[in-house]
Amino acid sequence: MQDISYRLDNHLYLNLTNRCTNACVFCVRYKAREFQGKYRLWLESEPTFEEIMKAINDPCQYTEIVFCGYGEPLIRLETVKQVAAAIKKAGPTRVRVDTNGHANLFYDRNILPELKGLVDFVSVSLNAQNSEVYDSICNSFFGRAAYAAVIDFIKEAKKYIPLVEATVVGLPQMINIDEAKKIADELGVPFRVRPYYEDEYVG
Ligand code: SF4
């Protein structure tokens, strides 16, 4: 059994993949088999478009539908685009993507124009104030190239997506949160500190 979606208040979260191009030290995928003790987010198989739409049912019952994890949703870019288009066709529900910002590295092209008109809000995990700290806590498959790619992803996202934010996890012992906020300020995007939970997904 697996959960490809879960509801929190009026928001529906979609779990498309467990794959990720980071291995963050704070990622709950390595700690908890279940989210909030009840959602089985480790997938036996990645859901199809049809399975995702069935899980959503009527998109208009939610104020927001979020592509997130256990994993990096843009690894399934074509499915994200297909589902987002169906949500947009159904009505005004906001579409958000929570991402590590590696997609342009992963695909070796700028994928952000492809999300224009489909995604309203991109929340990018900046995660650190510089590439050294990022590398030490995110263990990216892309090594030292990852942090610069995240910065570039945020800059590109601003051109195509109405709302873009940068976030870090609330771990001041690992991350200089004030310095990270300065980076977000320089990029001209809102900054948010994500709560750190010992046993919850924080990607
Ligand atoms: S926290 Fe997010 S970006 Fe980091 S390894 Fe987990 S899913 Fe990937």
Return the structure tokens found at 64.
């927001």
Query: Going by CA atoms, what residue is nearest to atom 6 of ligand 1?
Result: 27
**CB-ligand 1 contact for 203 (6 Å cutoff):** yes
The pLDDT of residue 69 = 79
- The packing angle between helices 145-160 and 177-187, to 10°, is 40
Q: How many CB atoms within 10 Å of residue 178? A: 9
CA-wise closest residue to 34 among 202, 203, 201: 201
* Cα 133 to Cα 144: distance, rounded to the nearest angstrom: 10
**Angle ∠(99,162,97) on CA atoms, nearest 5:** 20
Segment 47-105, tens digit of pLDDT: 999 999 999 999 999 999 999 978 999 999 999 999 999 999 999 999 999 999 999 99
pTM: 0.94
**CB-ligand 1 contact for 127 (6 Å cutoff):** no
Query: Is pLDDT of 200 > 70?
Result: no
Which CATH superfamily is 5-194 part of? Aldolase class I (3.20.20.70)
- The sheet with strand 121-125 has its strands ordered as 5-8, 11-14, 64-67, 94-99, 121-125, 163-169, 191-194
